[in-house]
Amino acid sequence: MSTEPKQPKRVPTLTEVIIDLPADQSAAPSAQPRSDAQVAPETLMAEALMQETRIVSKVIERLQPRIDVLFEHRLREALAPTVARIYTALADEMRKELARKLREAVEQAVNEELGRHRGA
């Protein structure tokens, strides 16, 4: 029996497999399905990112109605105090303006009436 140490079998890495492909094989589409070892890491990453994007889009599409309801509810809660303050300030301002206009109208009517009595 030989006591020589056995050399481990060399396993090529994915990049070595791609680099070792002849130029005509990498350019022409193959009729056989390719294994993951024959696909470039960039291609696998791009496919994974596209799949992730599709999944995210579908999840958002399904959740959108619930998100809209939640957003509207939270927005109403957040804006309610501000809207109430604006309403109160606007109502006070309009009340003052209406009182001023009413005083002006009454003053004008009284002056007209006094003018008629003086002239008569």
Tell me the per-residue pLDDT of 103-114, one tens digit each, with 9 for 90 and over: 999 999 999 999
Structural domain harbouring 114: 39-119
DSSP state of 117: H
User: What is the Cα–Cα distance from 53 to 57, expressed in whole angstroms?
Assistant: 6
* Alpha-carbon gap, residue 94 to 75, rounded angstroms: 27
Question: Is 88 inside a domain boundary?
Answer: yes
pLDDT tens, 47-83? 888 999 999 999 999 999 999 999 999 999 999 999 9
pLDDT above 70 coverage of the chain, percent = 67
In a domain, 67, yes or no: yes
Query: Considering the domain boundaries, does residue 72 fall inside one?
Result: yes
How many structural domains are present in the chain? Answer: 1
